[in-house]
């Protein structure tokens, strides 16, 4: 079934629609068939929409420009990324104003104001925790310091905005290592030392990014959100479908990205998509 046909029939059931980007609307730098038409229809319907991405390497403007360059309509304020939920989590857990050591680069990290960011490894000891990002940085120097920090202070906070273990580059066919993969390496090393730590992930499929989506829906559109009336369309069972299901959203899988029909048919529990589509159009 094509998603566009479903949406034309059923859009009235939903308060909002939330899109994954890569594998759902874009493949590499190109839009997937029907993506522009679908976004056009959603906008004509004046239905709130958001783009949810774990990509924290780019700013909201940069991520938006990828969509625009592919011929899709998008605004930076429609993009919710893995760092977007940090402020509400900081308020919820009383991290506001505390100092965190920031390892690596994250597109939006420079704009964070709810917590203070420390870049000097020599001051790590005085930090409430670590925010682990991506980009190009010296893994060896940073990881050794972070491992030794958590060995001494396993109770301090290990915040990892992007939970992804890896990310594919459609252009080169090569996989990059995501912040989630780095965090789990650090966690494993500590476990071998007998130290248990639990990273706090913020992106899909974890709660913070969905809580932020509900918050934005209410704040910007005056909609009192009913999670099951929010449709999340994505191509990943582990990230998009699982996250949407955990948040109580209606999950819809599209088979134009990383999930094969066999994987979709065998998915169960929180990985099981509410709806499955071959493509958007």
Which residue ranges make up the site for Mg ion (CB under 5 A)?
Answer: 20, 22-23, 235
Q: Smallest distance, Å, CB 179 to Mg ion?
A: 16
Instruction: Identify which of residues 118 and 235 has a Cβ nearer to Mg ion in the complex.
Output: 235
- Residue whose structure tokens are 């009913």: 226
User: Taking Cα atoms as reference points, which of 273, 229, 253 lies closest to residue 19?
Assistant: 253
Cβ atoms of 34 and 3 closer than 8 Å? yes
Task: Provide the minimum distance between the beta carbon of 23 and Mg ion in the complex, in angstroms, as a whole number.
Answer: 4
Task: Give 26 or 60: the residue with its C-beta nearer to Mg ion.
Answer: 26
20 or 216: CB nearest Mg ion? 20
Q: What are phi and psi of 99, to 5 degrees?
A: -100, 130
Instruction: Classify 149 as helix, strand or coil.
Output: helix
Q: Residue 120: helix, strand or coil by DSSP?
A: coil
Compute the least distance from the CB of residue 25 to Mg ion, in Å. 9
Nearer residue to Mg ion within complex by CB, 223 or 275: 275
- Contact in structure between 131 and 117 (CB atoms under 8 Å): yes
Residue number, 22 or 87, with CB nearest to Mg ion: 22
CB of 235 to Mg ion, least distance (A): 4
The CA-atom distances, in angstroms, between 154 and each of 30, 118, 150, 194, 197 are 44, 19, 5, 11, 6
Residue nearest to Mg ion (CB): 23
Beta carbon of residue 124, minimum distance to Mg ion (angstroms, whole number): 34
Cα separation, 39 vs 56, whole angstroms: 23
Q: What are 117's two structure tokens?
A: 């960011």
């Amino acid at each position: 079934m094509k998603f566009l046909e479903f949406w034309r029939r059923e859009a009235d059931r939903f308060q909002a629609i939330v899109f994954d980007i890569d594998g759902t609307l874009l493949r590499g730098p190109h839009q997937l068939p029907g993506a522009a038409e679908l976004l056009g229809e959603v906008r004509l319907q004046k239905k709130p929409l958001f783009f949810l991405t774990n990509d924290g390497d780019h700013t909201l403007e940069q991520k938006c420009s990828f969509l625009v360059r592919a011929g899709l309509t998008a605004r930076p304020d429609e993009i919710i990324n893995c760092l977007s939920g940090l402020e509400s989590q900081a308020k919820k857990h009383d991290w506001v104003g505390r100092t965190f050591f920031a390892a690596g680069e994250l597109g939006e990290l420079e704009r964070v104001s709810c917590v203070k960011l420390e870049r000097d490894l020599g001051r790590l000891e005085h930090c409430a925790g670590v925010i682990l990002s991506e980009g190009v940085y010296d893994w060896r120097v940073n990881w050794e310091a972070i491992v030794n920090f958590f060995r001494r202070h396993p109770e301090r906070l290990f915040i990892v905005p992007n939970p992804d273990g890896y990310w594919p580059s459609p252009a080169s066919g090569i996989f990059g290592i995501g912040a989630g993969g780095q965090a789990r390496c650090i966690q494993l090393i500590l476990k071998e030392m007998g130290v248990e730590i639990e990273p706090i992930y913020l992106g899909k499929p974890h709660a913070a990014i969905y809580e932020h989506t509900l918050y934005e829906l209410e704040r910007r559109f005056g909609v009192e959100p009913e999670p099951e009336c929010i449709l999340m369309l994505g191509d990943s069972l582990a990230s998009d479908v699982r996250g949407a299901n955990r948040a109580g959203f209606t999950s819809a899988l599209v088979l134009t990205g990383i999930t094969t029909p066999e994987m979709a048919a065998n998915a169960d529990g929180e990985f099981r998509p509410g709806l499955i589509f071959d493509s958007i159009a």
